[in-house]
Amino acid sequence: MSVTSRHRWWQRGILYEVYVRSWADASGDGVGDLRGIRSRLDHLAWLGVDAIWITPFFPSPMVDGGYDVADYTGVDPLFGTIGDFDALLAAAHDRSLRVILDLVPNHTSDRHPWFIESRASRSSPKRDWYLWRDPAPGGGPPNNWVSEFGGPAWEWDAATEQYYYHAFASAQPDLNWRHPQVRGAMYDAMRFWLDRGVDGFRVDVMWHMLKDEHFRDDPPNPDYRAGMAEYRSLIHAYSSDQPDVHEVVREMRAVLDGYDERLLIGEIYLPVDELVDYYGREGHEAHLPFNFHLIGTPWDARQIAVLIDRYEGALPEHAWPNWVLGNHDQPRVASRIGDAQARVAAMLLLTLRGTPTLYYGEELGLRDAEISPDRVTDVREESEPGRGLGRDPERTPMPWDASEHGGFTHGLPWLPLGELNRSRSVEAQRDDPGSMLTLHRRLIALRRAEPALAIGDYWPVHAGGDVLAYRRTHGGRDLLVALNLGSSHARLALPPGLGPFRVLLATIGSLEGGTCQRELELPANAGMILEPLASSDRR
Ligand code: GLC
């Protein structure tokens, strides 16, 4: 067995998030769909990624863009049919692309038959499938818990005179994961898709699934300031990340382990030390608890260096790292740090140790689009308007070509594409050697060609100022990555014994092929991957 074959496909591979509503629309109704995804799979094969995670396409009233599921084993007509899904899965597998589904187990839609039955009466057999509570002794909600979308997390049901809990919108009641039948029903839904051949799940809000059994109040957050999202007014000591959630994650993992090589990813927004607990003590929980810390950490070389060290240091021995720059809930990376640094960020993401996940359009350098008030669709914008919390700007349709709606749809797109993003289409960038798309494709190809990048060890290299540097090593190969996270020229003194090097790939093409002996010159916003100069080349 070769060294590389000991690694699983998802350790060597690169994941790509497809926000189903915005990637490609085949039906012409202006909303992306499964047939659309199938029609564009060649882009992904050409780009070189290994797997797509498709956001929810299950039947839904679409209060939260499909994260309010009304049937876990169907396809919403907006996105197609189960036949379309099977055809997409087969077409993806034909191209060696794996397919990861989005499982939303924490809550259902209030239109799900389970909730309708639960709500019907206090004696309903499904009453305890959800979290129903009496009012507090003096009246009002049972405790102080706040919804992630702002406002109380409790909704009054006048007919049965109890409150139900919802961590998100009131149309998304939370399931009671202490109930064995709830667990069984969700594991059956997982098996439904695994039996069809899906390669794994990204589990929505994994750390939310269990709440304190005694429903104690969350303590106030002393760092809360006016203008922050209301959710941040409390420390969520009791409403999320409860110790027994790990038992649920282990059970989910056991469902997947009944199949071959399936992948379990957890969406988890927690500090590094708590995040890594979701690998499980024995490694029997999530394969990849999503690491979102590159999104929240200031774009500063020293802070990112500390983050990488802390994360690497916190990982349990068996755990495989992973990194993410963006997703459908966060402002796009090019908008957060600018176009020039987005190229550096791409190099960071694709050269760090651990599985990278790309968000669709990152490979094009898409930015958050301007959404006029009359085009707002996101429940998050509606729940706390005007605070910049809405997620429509990062969810706009993928621009494929120069045609009217960027080749995304023949109809009217559900969100505008934005002029700037339209100019950054796949067609416009595909053959441009200096484009963001070409940079991504080359970085991905290099990661595939160089085991040091895909599965090698990580060694930080001492650097100062705006420079972030590290080595990736494997089987005698020793690559140096040097990134200038600043907008002025910088230098990196090579540690004794390292070098000379030659630039293998750079965010600024003209730097490629250049060599350096003792000190590396890094122009503003430059990132480079360097290989040792072979002794025959040194003369
Ligand atoms: C996750 C999803 C987000 C959704 C929320 C509630 O965070 O990524 O889009 O609104 O869960 O399901």
Q: Which of 112, 204, 395 to mutate to test the pocket of ligand 1 (most atoms within 8 A of CB)?
A: 204
The pLDDT score that the predictor gives to residue 57 is 99
The Å distance, Cα 141 to ligand 1 centre, comes to: 24
Longest dimension (CA), the chain: 86
User: What is the identity of the amino acid at 520?
Assistant: L
Is residue 121's pLDDT more than 50? Answer: yes
What is the domain class of 458-538 according to CATH?
mainly beta
Q: Give the whole-angstrom CA distance, residue 407 versus residue 397.
A: 10
CA of 67, closest atom in ligand 1: 12
Q: Which residues form the catalytic set?
A: 204, 267
Which helix (H) or strand (E) is 201 found in, with range?
Answer: strand 200-203
Measured by CA distance, the residue closest to atom 9 of ligand 1 is 329
CA of 68, closest atom in ligand 1: 12
Which helix (H) or strand (E) is 505 found in, with range?
Answer: strand 501-506
The pLDDT score that the predictor gives to residue 516 is 93
CA distances in angstroms from 254 to 72, 73, 329, listed in the order given: 19, 20, 29
Q: Give the whole-angstrom CA distance, residue 468 versus residue 484.
A: 7
CATH code linked to domain 113-165: 3.90.400.10
Measured by CA distance, the residue closest to atom 4 of ligand 1 is 67
The Å distance, Cα 40 to ligand 1 centre, comes to: 25
3-state helix, strand, coil in the chain (%, to 5): 35, 15, 50
The Å distance, Cα 205 to ligand 1 centre, comes to: 7
The residues with which 16 forms a beta bridge, in sequence order, are: 52, 358
Measured by CA distance, the residue closest to atom 12 of ligand 1 is 67
Cβ–Cβ under 8 Å, residues 375 and 416: yes
CA of 168, closest atom in ligand 1: 6
Residue 377 CB burial class (10 angstroms; 0-12, 13-18, ≥19): middle
The Å distance, Cα 81 to ligand 1 centre, comes to: 23
CA of 64, closest atom in ligand 1: 10
Q: Give the whole-angstrom CA distance, residue 63 versus residue 15.
A: 27
Q: Give the whole-angstrom CA distance, residue 85 versus residue 502.
A: 47
The Å distance, Cα 383 to ligand 1 centre, comes to: 14
Cβ–Cβ under 8 Å, residues 353 and 458: yes
Identical fold, 9-107+180-443 and 113-165: no
Residue 165, both tokens: 């809990």
Is residue 537's pLDDT more than 70? Answer: no
Cβ–Cβ under 8 Å, residues 252 and 190: yes
User: Exposure string (b/e) for 317-331, b if CB count within 10 Å is 16 or more?
Assistant: eebbbbbbbbbbbbe
Give the mean pLDDT of 264-280. Answer: 98
The pLDDT score that the predictor gives to residue 2 is 44
Query: Is 3.40.309.10 the CATH number for 9-107+180-443?
Result: no
Cβ–Cβ under 8 Å, residues 415 and 369: yes
The residues with which 202 forms a beta bridge, in sequence order, are: 102, 265
The pLDDT score that the predictor gives to residue 11 is 98
Terminal C-alpha separation, the chain = 38
Domain ranges of the chain: 9-107+180-443, 113-165, 458-538
Is residue 536's pLDDT more than 60? Answer: no
pLDDT tens, position by position, 448-506: 999 999 999 999 999 999 999 999 999 999 999 999 999 999 999 998 888 899 999 99
Ligand 1 contacts (CB < 6 A) are 64, 67, 104, 168, 204-205, 267, 328-329
| pLDDT band at residue 192 under the 50/70/90 scheme | very high
Question: How far does Cα 473 stand from its chain's mean position?
Answer: 27
Q: Which of 54, 57, 64 to mutate to test the pocket of ligand 1 (most atoms within 8 A of CB)?
A: 64
Residue 195 CB burial class (10 angstroms; 0-12, 13-18, ≥19): exposed
> What is the dihedral sign for C-alpha 377, 380, 386, 389?
negative
Q: Give the whole-angstrom CA distance, residue 74 versus residue 85.
A: 10
Give the mean pLDDT of 206-210. Answer: 98
pLDDT tens, position by position, 383-418: 999 889 999 999 999 999 999 999 999 999 999 999
| pLDDT band at residue 47 under the 50/70/90 scheme | very high
The DSSP secondary-structure symbol of 411 reads S
Which helix (H) or strand (E) is 103 found in, with range?
Answer: strand 98-103
- Regarding pTM above 0.95, the answer is yes
| pLDDT band at residue 209 under the 50/70/90 scheme | very high
